[in-house]
Amino acid sequence: MSFRFQIEARDGKARAGRLFTPHGVVQTPVFMPVGTLATVKGVPQDTLEELGVEILLNNTYHLYLRPGVETVRALGGVQRFMAWDHPILTDSGGFQVFSLSELRKVTEEGVAFRSHLDGSSHMFTPESAIAAQIGLGADIIMAFDECTEHPAERARARESMEMTLRWLKRSKDYFEAHKHEVPWYNGGRKADPSIRSSAADDLSRDDKSKEFYGTAEAVPLQNNDSDAGLKASSTQIAGVEPGQTQALFGIVQGGMYPDLRRESAQRTVEIDLPGYAIGGLSVGEPRPMTYEMVDAAMPYLPENKPRYLMGVGTPEEIVHYVAQGVDMMDCVLPTRAARHGLLFTSEGKLTIKNARFARDEGPIDPKCHCKVCGRYSRAYLRHLYASNELLARVLNTVHNLAYYLDTMRRVRQAILLGEFATFLSGVRPAHLSAP
Amino acid sequence: MSFRFQIEARDGKARAGRLFTPHGVVQTPVFMPVGTLATVKGVPQDTLEELGVEILLNNTYHLYLRPGVETVRALGGVQRFMAWDHPILTDSGGFQVFSLSELRKVTEEGVAFRSHLDGSSHMFTPESAIAAQIGLGADIIMAFDECTEHPAERARARESMEMTLRWLKRSKDYFEAHKHEVPWYNGGRKADPSIRSSAADDLSRDDKSKEFYGTAEAVPLQNNDSDAGLKASSTQIAGVEPGQTQALFGIVQGGMYPDLRRESAQRTVEIDLPGYAIGGLSVGEPRPMTYEMVDAAMPYLPENKPRYLMGVGTPEEIVHYVAQGVDMMDCVLPTRAARHGLLFTSEGKLTIKNARFARDEGPIDPKCHCKVCGRYSRAYLRHLYASNELLARVLNTVHNLAYYLDTMRRVRQAILLGEFATFLSGVRPAHLSAP
């Protein structure tokens, strides 16, 4: 079985569980750091492992543009490409197409867009978005949906929701027909470059990534005969069981209308999939509305399957979403905020460039056990940030990820112990800053 | 004793030895990575330790501007500031004043210059450059010299050399009068902010660093009462023996004139110092001339003291300098080249962004044992670099430093075994690129 979700404990609506994927196990509830271009910016993979990261999110839109799906496929899939022998989830590309591309045109077929990098023209359809995700080879992949803009009138939200449902069916049909083309279907051995999958053909009409680098031709996989080369390749895959495939999740939409959210959830789960996500939230709506939309959809998502709330949240909000029954979340906030000098601590948010830290010998967070707080002072981190040093972004990111992951660990522990309500009551409101 | 140099083996003119400094031991010959602003760009201190780095170079000019000498002094010195409980060497600031400042005026007193950051006016004299280095607290500090421009006429090279000798005497006089003011003189405990050293007073006329940040006041050292804060502070210093001071090295100049180089060496060593450097080379001259100038000065530097050749070199050149009797070197090349995608390997230089690496599964260097080569493929590193990712700069730097440090380790081992001539004969010429 390629994918399984096992619930170990419940506390109220919260659940503690495990996802079993081809590349490993993920304890839930889980916060997935975003590694957009197959890298969590500035943080090496061994540091991610030290932090206890179990699953990363990669963006299909960005990887499709560079290095291109065919390159990742030829190198055995994104886990092997980025030397991350652990689970990975890819989004479908739909959100970035809407948020990053200047010119885009949506039709029933899909979305025509221009690359934000070089203006080249591309098309994402449910079929090509699934094809791309198959080629990239993440363990969990997402249906191609339309992330309804906000605000949206009811009629518009309904129209968008309906198209997402039609696109979900096309996503699943394509997936079922092509899922065996995932690069590690044969158990993680090198992809044979002489076999171009039909999925690759589906992409090639639109995949201009080969031209992106100018002189970069589609180069056949090179065998490196050195021991070290083999070592570098072979130790990355501990052994994906042959015959496994990816797990495709569906996405609930419905704008900011509880009844549409409910209907979207009901109709999405009519299509049998291993997991379901709630999309189209945290797009500018007031936070109470986010919680309301999650509550509207949640009762209609299967209790025995993972629920993934996309694109959230702050360290306090992620705890509240778990209380609503969410098992998986992702957000650029901890990593992006870190690169901008905003650090999350047990005492609230902290802006490291503030002058008051110039001679502060203490760690970012006295209660944090991460390696950054165990070694570096606020004064030093402030100096690094104010001097625009690379290390500032690296260390800030390590701390913020540690904070999020530690929060999730403590949430999970509380659920296992039946103490989640107590834990929740101790979560400070999100707007307070550190003293 | 604050500083000692012990030679363990000789092979021809090459030596293998150890430097004993207040913050630890350094095996020589040594290549010192440059950590300009108290950070080796992008590489955390624990990674430097894993690489086997034993000593770093920090730049006085840059740290004087930010975060400022008084901040570093208040925090106990630069080792503690940057959480590097190991030896550090600072240069005097003289070179950057010449190479980075747009406007500068040299007089007998010193060099008036404008900060490259904000144009503010400053003055470096032998006294203030030593004062700054005392406040920063590196284990080894450099006399304030004039790095003779290249090319220079003989009369100009002599005039410059003579001033460097006068500045050396002033550097040493100031150092002897103030060396006890080093922040860790009392054995590495917190500096008492209520005692402003006279060295600080010497700086304060010119130290505009307080205003650099706008609102940054000279804030008294804050005591952080948390256990973690104390842990972060106290574990950084394993214990500097009380009563130790820094080691001041003199610098030989003389332009590209062997007789001036000889005379400069002879007259520099008349001033008794624990070590001597050769400066003013690798400033654009043809490489054979560099070797000639080193050979001209070397016989006049004491055999029993370390010889530091400043600002060199490529992976091949550093081996040749060891053959000439050099014990210590520093250069931005491995780290700067790394950030620009140029990697050094046992097979020559490699430009990672080259399209031919797009699907190359092998490591950067099949013979390299660093963590980068043990995990990541050329294809992935190429993708990172082409995508302008932070991790590219981090991983490239780790590899290049590993290459330099591994080279030095093998050089040292060869000297200890009496096999250095053989080793030297196997060093490939510098101009060849990797296949």
Q: What are A382-392's pLDDT values in tens digits?
A: 999 999 999 99
User: How far A281 CA lies from chain B's nearest CA (Å)?
Assistant: 28
Determine the average pLDDT of the residues in B377-383: 98
Is B393 in Cβ contact with A366 (below 8 Å)? no
For chain B, what percent of residues have pLDDT higher than 90? 82
pTM exceeding the 0.95 threshold for the entire prediction: no
The number of CA neighbours under 13 Å toward the Cβ of A346 is 14
DSSP, res B220 = P
Confidence check: pLDDT of A53 > 60: yes
The one-letter amino acid code at B423 reads F
B348-351 and B56-58 beta bridge pairing: unpaired
What angle (nearest 5°) sits at the alpha carbon of residue A361, between those of residues A355 and A363?
95
Is A394 in Cβ contact with B390 (below 8 Å)? yes
**Which chain B positions have a beta carbon within 8 Å of A66's beta carbon?**
383, 386-387
Determine the average pLDDT of the residues in B306-327: 98
Q: Which residue of A has its CA nearest to B190?
A: A361
User: How many CB atoms are located within 10 Å of the residue B204 CB?
Assistant: 15
- Residue A214: pLDDT band with limits 50, 70, 90: very low
Tokens 């991610």 appear where? A48
Q: Which two tokens stand for residue A376?
A: 């570096």
Distance separating alpha carbons of residues A375 and A98, to the nearest angstrom: 41
Within B137-252, residue ranges assigned H as helices are 154-178, 198-204, 209-212, 227-234
Is A41 in Cβ contact with B224 (below 8 Å)? no
Is B363 in Cβ contact with A229 (below 8 Å)? yes
What pLDDT score does A97 carry?
A: 83
| Among candidate residues A282, A277, A245, A283, the one with its CA nearest the CA of residue A264 | A277
- Cα distances from B123 to residues B61, B64, B105, in angstroms, run 11, 11, 9
User: How far A137 CA lies from chain B's nearest CA (Å)?
Assistant: 16
Is B379 in Cβ contact with A75 (below 8 Å)? yes
Determine the average pLDDT of the residues in B124-135: 98
A4-11 and A14-21 beta bridge pairing: antiparallel
Confidence check: pLDDT of A235 > 50: no
Collapsing DSSP to helix, strand or coil, A269 comes out as helix
Distance separating alpha carbons of residues A402 and A407, to the nearest angstrom: 8
What pLDDT score does B205 carry?
A: 44
Catalytic residue among B202, B207, B330, B406: B330
The one-letter amino acid code at A391 reads L
User: Taken in order A366, A369, A374, A378, is the CA torsion positive or negative?
Assistant: negative
Determine the average pLDDT of the residues in B165-178: 98
What pLDDT score does B81 carry?
A: 98
Collapsing DSSP to helix, strand or coil, B345 comes out as strand
What pLDDT score does A2 carry?
A: 86
Is B217 in Cβ contact with A67 (below 8 Å)? no
User: How far B78 CA lies from chain A's nearest CA (Å)?
Assistant: 10
- Residue A302: pLDDT band with limits 50, 70, 90: very high
Distance separating alpha carbons of residues A294 and A113, to the nearest angstrom: 30
For chain A, what percent of residues have pLDDT higher than 70? 86
**Which chain A positions have a beta carbon within 8 Å of B116's beta carbon?**
none
What pLDDT score does B99 carry?
A: 83
User: How many CB atoms are located within 10 Å of the residue B247 CB?
Assistant: 25
Determine the average pLDDT of the residues in B210-221: 35
- Residue B429: pLDDT band with limits 50, 70, 90: low
What pLDDT score does B419 carry?
A: 98
The distance from CA A281 to its chain's CA centroid, rounded to whole angstroms, is 15
Q: What are A188-213's pLDDT values in tens digits?
A: 754 444 433 445 555 544 444 443 33
Determine the average pLDDT of the residues in B267-283: 98
Determine the average pLDDT of the residues in B257-285: 98
Within B254-377, residue ranges assigned H as helices are 258-269, 287-297, 317-323, 333-339
Q: What are A349-362's pLDDT values in tens digits?
A: 999 999 999 999 99
**B91 is known as an active-site residue:** yes
The one-letter amino acid code at A250 reads G
Q: Strands, E, within A61-115: which ranges?
A: 88-90, 104-106, 111-114
Confidence check: pLDDT of A309 > 90: yes
DSSP A184-227: TTTSSPPP-TT---HHHHHHHTT-THHHHTSS---PPPBPP-SH
- Residue B189: pLDDT band with limits 50, 70, 90: low
Q: Which two tokens stand for residue B65?
A: 């501007």
Element (H, E) at A128: helix A126-136
Is A42 in Cβ contact with B42 (below 8 Å)? yes
Confidence check: pLDDT of A435 > 80: no
The ipTM estimated for the assembled molecules is 0.90
CB pairs < 8 Å spanning A and B: 216
User: How many CB atoms are located within 10 Å of the residue B195 CB?
Assistant: 8
What pLDDT score does A389 carry?
A: 98
Determine the average pLDDT of the residues in B370-385: 98
Q: Which residue of B has its CA nearest to A225?
A: B362
DSSP, res A428 = P
Determine the average pLDDT of the residues in A38-65: 98
Is B356 in Cβ contact with A384 (below 8 Å)? no
Distance separating alpha carbons of residues B435 and A273, to the nearest angstrom: 49
Confidence check: pLDDT of B276 > 70: yes
What pLDDT score does A55 carry?
A: 98
Determine the average pLDDT of the residues in A211-234: 36
| Residues of A carrying an active site annotation | 91, 330
Indicate the residue of B232, B356, B374 with minimum beta-carbon distance to A375: B232
Best residue in B387, B393, B397, B403 for a mutation probing chain A (most A CBs within 10 Å): B387
- Residue A429: pLDDT band with limits 50, 70, 90: low
What pLDDT score does A99 carry?
A: 82
**Which chain B positions have a beta carbon within 8 Å of A46's beta carbon?**
371, 375
Q: What are A94-119's pLDDT values in tens digits?
A: 888 878 777 789 999 999 999 989 99
| Among candidate residues B246, B9, B280, the one with its CA nearest the CA of residue B139 | B246
Confidence check: pLDDT of B38 > 80: yes
Q: Which residue of B has its CA nearest to A217?
A: B355
Confidence check: pLDDT of B237 > 80: no
User: How far A286 CA lies from chain B's nearest CA (Å)?
Assistant: 33
User: How far B104 CA lies from chain A's nearest CA (Å)?
Assistant: 23
What pLDDT score does B55 carry?
A: 98
The distance from CA B379 to its chain's CA centroid, rounded to whole angstroms, is 33
Distance separating alpha carbons of residues A212 and A225, to the nearest angstrom: 29
Is B361 in Cβ contact with A226 (below 8 Å)? no
Confidence check: pLDDT of A171 > 90: yes
Catalytic residue among B11, B85, B91, B145: B91
Confidence check: pLDDT of A135 > 50: yes
